[in-house]
Amino acid sequence: MIFHLPDLGEGLTEAEIVQWLVAEGDVVAVDQSIAEVETAKSMVEVPSPYAGKVVKLHGKAGSTLAVGEPLITVEPVSVAAEAYREEEKAGSGSVLVGYGTSTAASSGRHRTPRRPVQSATHVRPAQVVSPLVRNLARSNGVDLTRVEPTGRGGVIVRADVERAMAGGTAPASGENRVPLNGFRKAATVALSRSRAEIPEATVWVDVDATRLWELRESVPDGPGLLAYIARFTVAALRDFPVLNARFDAERQEIVELGQINLGIAVQGDRGLTVPAVIGAESMNTTRLGQEIKRLTAAAREGRVSARELSAGTFTLNNYGSLGVDGSAAIINYPQVAILGFGRILDRPWVVDGGLCVRKITQMSFVFDHRVCDGGTAAGFMRRVADAIENPASAIARL
């Protein structure tokens, strides 16, 4: 039986084989991971829909396959029977599978280890499975034996080479061409389409986040600042559903969406991704904080699911974590708006006629002018800003 590379979602048409998790001759079970592949959005493990012996691997690590091309050929075989044959090869003589022969004594092959263990004194050879990564290193004078790998199984990936280049291993002068990786290619398409099709407008306001900061400090083990901001954003979207929508240009309709899937912009070594907290409207602040933390970690590791990457209906961007104060962000097409926050700074502020020091952040809002006007955008922003400035009363109303 031939298993073809499946549709990995989001209209992706190809994937690069990062590494095989099985070898020819191995026996695999249904849903066992057989390969790790990299798409334009993330690295995912592909499970086998068949059980049996691996007869052929269609493609080497580093090669690119189109969706629908053969990935692996599996010959149906009884797992129990195969295990029995392995027992016989080991010289057990036992008639009951699993008795009389230790795993260490068996000479039969099983799936290759997914995480090789190396001693601290072992000299690690450079492992690069992608020819693109190897070419990138060669063209920039990067010694792969000196590059620290972060890929699964000690594999050097593109981000490792780029990090080495940034550290000074690249030539000091001369032209440097860096090919776009899958993440950057996908982002290029989406961002270009957003700017080409959406008549966007940007508004911003300075927000006094002192009380929210104090609330967060009063409960050290509680939700983080972004979790509270996410909760206030979701509440505001319920009041302004036109911003949790799509614009159907063909039918000239605004399509308001019932579910709020809050996209969280995450900047990682492999590029910018926007995974979504699915069903955010049903979550409290604590649950939102847990989901944001999980998604952020998964996105930086390239392990977010295709659904989480494509389900977003509105984006929240904490660019303050990058050390900047403001941004006129690009809307994450086909969404219609994006809300961003800069870093929180101590600034002089007038409160009740007196000058004092407060925690101030700049909030920027970019929206599709086809779905609403400035009045709606301002109303949405003030709803979020008022909640940040008076979090206790805002939470009481949620």
The CATH 4.10.320.10 domain(s) of the chain lie at 131-169
Cα–Cα distance for residue pair 22/334, rounded to 1 Å = 39
The CATH 3.30.559.10 domain(s) of the chain lie at 184-397
Per-residue confidence band for 113, with pLDDT thresholds at 50, 70 and 90: very low
- Homologous superfamily in CATH for domain 131-169: E3-binding domain (4.10.320.10)
Residue from 341, 339, 273 nearest 311 by CA: 273
* In contact, 169 and 141? CB cutoff 8 Å: yes
pLDDT for the residue 215: 95
Provide mean pLDDT across the span 88-103. 36
Q: For residue 39, is pLDDT > 80?
A: no
Q: Which range (61-65, 109-113, 140-144, 287-291) has the least confidence?
A: 109-113
- C-alpha distances in Å from residue 246, one per residue of 182, 193, 267, 278, 281: 26, 14, 25, 16, 18
Per-residue confidence band for 126, with pLDDT thresholds at 50, 70 and 90: low
The answer for residues whose C-beta is within 8 angstroms of residue 85's C-beta and 6 or more apart is 108
pLDDT for the residue 128: 57
Q: For residue 356, is pLDDT > 90?
A: yes
CATH number for region 2-77? 2.40.50.100
Among 58, 110, 122, 369, the one annotated catalytic: 369
Per-residue confidence band for 130, with pLDDT thresholds at 50, 70 and 90: low
pLDDT for the residue 232: 98
Mean of the per-residue pLDDT values for the chain? 82
Query: Cα angle at 337 between 335 and 343, to 5 degrees?
Result: 125
Establish whether 122 is a catalytic residue. Answer: no
CATH number for region 184-397? 3.30.559.10
Question: Which sign, positive or negative, has the C-alpha torsion 366, 371, 374, 377?
Answer: negative
Provide mean pLDDT across the span 346-362. 96
Neighbours of 74 (CB within 10 A): 22
pLDDT for the residue 95: 34
Provide mean pLDDT across the span 89-111. 37
Per-residue confidence band for 359, with pLDDT thresholds at 50, 70 and 90: very high
The answer for residues whose C-beta is within 8 angstroms of residue 47's C-beta and 6 or more apart is 30, 31, 32, 33, 34
pLDDT for the residue 190: 84
Per-residue confidence band for 129, with pLDDT thresholds at 50, 70 and 90: very low
299-320: buried (b, 16+ CB within 10 Å) or exposed (e) per residue?
A: beebebbbebbbbbbbbbbbbb
Count CA atoms within 13 Å of residue 39 on its CB side: 24
Residue from 316, 224, 322, 314 nearest 268 by CA: 322
Reported in sequence order, the residue ranges of the chain that DSSP labels E, i.e. its strands, are 2-4, 14-20, 27-28, 33-38, 43-47, 52-57, 64-66, 70-75, 200-208, 245-248, 253-256, 262-264, 266-268, 271-273, 276-277, 314-317, 337-341, 345-351, 354-368
Q: What is the pLDDT of residues 243-279, one digit of tens each?
A: 999 999 999 999 999 999 999 999 877 678 899 999 9
